[in-house]
Structure 1
Amino acid sequence: MLKKFITLCILVVIVAGAGVFYALNQVEAYVKQPLNVAEPTLVTIKSGTSFNALLHRFESNGWLESNEFSRLLRRIHPELTQLKAGTFEITPDHTLQQALLNLVNGQQVQFSITFVEGSTFKEWRALLNNAPHLKHVSQEMTEAEIAQALQLDKQKLEGLLLAETYHYTVGMTDLDIMKRASHQLNQVLNRYWDQRQEGLPLKDAYQALTLASIIEKETALATERPIVASVFVNRLKIGMRLQTDPTVIYGMGDKYQGNIRKRDLQTPTPYNTYTMYGLTPTPIAMVGEAAIAAAVNPDQTKYLYFVASGHGGHVFTKNLRDHNRAVQQYLKKLRARN
C-alpha cells in the first residue's frame, strides 16, 4: 500500500513538473515571438498604463499572437513589467521581449533636426514648423516674443542660436529646441571669447558673433574662415568699410531676388556695409562653432581684399591693384564658361 502511495506521489510530481515545464516553454515562446509589424511603428505609452493593458493592445493590433499563458509573464519576467511613459519605436526585427526592454529602459525614439551654418532665423522657423512629432507652440509668436520666452534681452534672434543637429523626442516643443540651441551658443561663444586673440577691434562677444555670421556667409571652406576673418579684422582696424555682399542681401530682406544691382550697393540700410562703417547691428545668420573660432582668432595677414577664385574658394590680396586683377581673372573664367 505504501509503495503504491509513493508511486502515485512520484507520478503527481512528474505530471506537475511536466505542466510547469510546458507552461514555462509557452511563456518563453510568447515573449520571444517576433512582433508582426511591417515597418517601424511608434507606440505611445501614457503614464499609468498597465502591463496587461499593453499586451492586450499589442494583441488587438495584430502585432502579437495571444497565448493563454501570457498571464504568467508578469511572474516569470517581472523585469519586463515596469513600463516607462513615452513614445517608443517597434520594428519588424523586434521580439516582444526586446520591445518591452526598450519600454522598461525608457529608450524613447529620437528624431533629429539639422540647422546648417549660415541659415537665418526665418529659415529655422520654417524647418521647425515642418518638423514631425514636435509641438509647434511658437508659430503665432513674434520674434520678440520668442526672444522673451528664451529669456534673451534682444529683439532679434539672428545669430543667437547655434547651428548644428539637435535630437528630440515626441512631445517636445519647438521652443525646447531653441532653448537648447541658445544655451549651446552661449557656451561656445563665451568659451571662445575668453580665449580671444589680443588686440581685436571688437567691443564684446556679441560683436564677435556678428563678425562670425559675416564670415559664415562669405565662405563654406573651413580652411578659409580664419583668412576671411583676418580681412575683416584688418579693415575694422583701419576704419575701412567691410563691403561684403551678404550684408547687403540681408538688409534687402524680401526685396532680394537673387541678384545684387549697383543701386542695391548704394542704397543705405542698417546692414549695408558698402554705405556704413563697422559691423552690422546684429548678426546676419546663425553660425557654427568654427566661424566663432575664426572670428576671435583670425590668421595674422595683411590681406584687405578677396574675391571668388572660380574654383570654389577665394583669392586674397593686400592692395586694390592686385584685387582688381583677381576680379578680372574671375570675370574671365565666368565668360569662358558661358
Structure 2
Amino acid sequence: MRFLKTLFWLFIVAILGAAGGFAYWAAQPVLAPGQLAMDFAIEPGSSLRSVADQIAARQIPLQPLLFEALVRLTGKEGQIKAGHYAIKPGTTPQRLIGQLVRGEFAQESLVVIEGWTFRQMRQAVADNPALKHDTLALTDKELLAKVTTEFNVPEGLFFPDTYLYAKGASDLQVYRQAHAELLKRLEQAWAQRDLTLPYKTPYEALTMASIIEKETGQKAERGLIAGVFVNRLKKGMLLQTDPTVIYGMGDKFKGNIRKRDLLTDTPFNTYLRVGLPPSPIALPGNDALRAALRPERTDALYFVARGDGTSVFSSNLPDHNRAVNRYQR
C-alpha cells in the first residue's frame, strides 16, 4: 500500500514537472536575441500537423510535436491562416500562434521614386522577387484596365511612395495601392487649388505636376517654376520645356537634345505645340502636385538653369537671353 502511494505521488510530480517544462518551453523565444529573422510559408488547406512540418522544414528550431500540442490546447487548430510569415528574435511559441491566427504576414516593401516614368515603375515591380507577378505579360493598357477604367494612359497615375505588402502578394495590389494614393493626393490638392489657374480638369493639373517634377529637383523652386508655366499658359505662349521633348523622343533620346529634336514634332514637343502635352510625363510627388495647384505668384516668364541645380528667373526675353548667355553658352 505504501509503495502504491509513493508511486502515485511520483506520477503526480512527473506530470507537474512535464506541465511546468511545457509551460516554460511555450514562453521561451524560438530565436535568441541577435539571430536573424526566419521566414516560412503556410500553404492553403494545411492540416495542423502539416503546419508544424512546414515550419520545421525551414530549419526553424520549433519542436513540431510540442507546437502541435500547444495549438490544440489553445483551441486554435482550425484558425491558422495560410500565407507568408516571418518569425523574429524574441517570438515565443505562444506569440507565434497568435501571429498565425491573426494572419500577421511577413511585410515586404517596394519604393516608387518621384520622377520615375511608369515604365521605370513597371521594371521595379517586375524585378521585385517578393511579389507574385500577375501583370508581367500584360501590356500597359491591359494592366491599366485591371486598375481603373477612367483613364487610357497609365503615365502619372501612380503615386511615388513606399508600399508595404505581404510576401507573395499580387503585383496588382501595389499598382492599385499606388493609383488609389495618387487619386487621393490629387483630389486633396485640387480642392485647395488657386481658382485662377488655367487647368480645366485635375488631370491637366497632374500633367503640369509631372512637368514640374522633371524640371527641377529643388523643392524651393517648384512653386516659381509652376508660376512661370502658368503665366505662359495664360498668355498662350509655348511652354518650351525640355522634359516633355525628351519624353516624346522615347528610346531615341541618348542623353542630349539637339536642335533637330526641338524641331521634330511629337504630341509632347512643347516647343512646337501650344498648351499642355496630352498626358503626364512622369510620376509626380506631393511637392510637385502642390506647386502645380498653388504656384507662386510671379511675373517671370522664363527660367534657365545655372548649372548648380538652381535657376535664374526672368520676366522679359532680353534678361532671359543674358542669363542663357551667362549660364548656358
More displaced 10-residue stretch of structure 1: 18-27 or 77-86? 77-86
Report whether the alignment pairs 1:245 with 2:242: yes
What TM-score do you get using the length of structure 1 for normalisation? 0.87
Segments of structure 2 that go 5 or more residues without pairing to the other structure are none
Secondary structure at the aligned position of 1:123 is classed as helix
Residue 30 of structure 2 aligns to which amino acid in structure 1? P
Name the structure 1 match of 2:46. Answer: 49
Segments of structure 1 that go 5 or more residues without pairing to the other structure are 333-338
Name the structure 1 match of 2:122. Answer: 125
| Offset of residue 293 of structure 1 | 1.2
Q: Deviations over 1:5-34 (max 9, x none)?
A: 7x975x466434412321123213433253
Residue 116 of structure 2 aligns to which amino acid in structure 1? S
Structure 2 Cα separation of the partners of residues 254 and 161 of structure 1: 22
Residue 102 of structure 1 aligns to which amino acid in structure 2? Q
Report whether the alignment pairs 1:197 with 2:194: yes
Structure 2 Cα separation of the partners of residues 39 and 203 of structure 1: 54
Name the structure 2 match of 1:336. Answer: none
Q: Which has the larger radius of gyration?
A: 1
What TM-score do you get using the length of structure 2 for normalisation? 0.89
Task: Check the 8 A contact 2:52/2:64 in 1, yes or no.
Answer: no
Distance 1:150 1:60, change over 3 A: closer
| Offset of residue 286 of structure 1 | 1.0
Name the structure 1 match of 2:104. Answer: 107
| Offset of residue 261 of structure 1 | 0.5
Q: Deviations over 1:212-252 (max 9, x none)?
A: 11001001222211111000000001111110000010010
Task: Check the 8 A contact 1:26/1:69 in 2, yes or no.
Answer: no
Report whether the alignment pairs 1:296 with 2:270: no
Name the structure 1 match of 2:177. Answer: 180
Name the structure 2 match of 1:89. Answer: 86
Q: Deviations over 1:138-158 (max 9, x none)?
A: 222122222222233333111
Which of 23, 30, 40 is the equivalent residue of 1:34? 30
| Offset of residue 171 of structure 1 | 3.1
Structure 2 Cα separation of the partners of residues 133 and 85 of structure 1: 16
Task: Check the 8 A contact 1:307/1:314 in 2, yes or no.
Answer: yes
Which of 198, 203, 217 is the equivalent residue of 2:214? 217
More displaced 10-residue stretch of structure 1: 90-99 or 20-29? 90-99
Name the structure 1 match of 2:205. Answer: 208
Paired-residue identity, %: 40
Structure 1 Cα separation of the partners of residues 250 and 8 of structure 2: 85
Task: Check the 8 A contact 1:80/1:97 in 2, yes or no.
Answer: no
Secondary structure at the aligned position of 1:157 is classed as coil
Distance 1:324 1:13, change over 3 A: farther
Distance 1:22 1:81, change over 3 A: farther
More displaced 10-residue stretch of structure 1: 67-76 or 221-230? 67-76
Task: Check the 8 A contact 1:227/1:298 in 2, yes or no.
Answer: yes
Structure 1 Cα separation of the partners of residues 128 and 43 of structure 2: 22
Distance 1:58 1:29, change over 3 A: farther
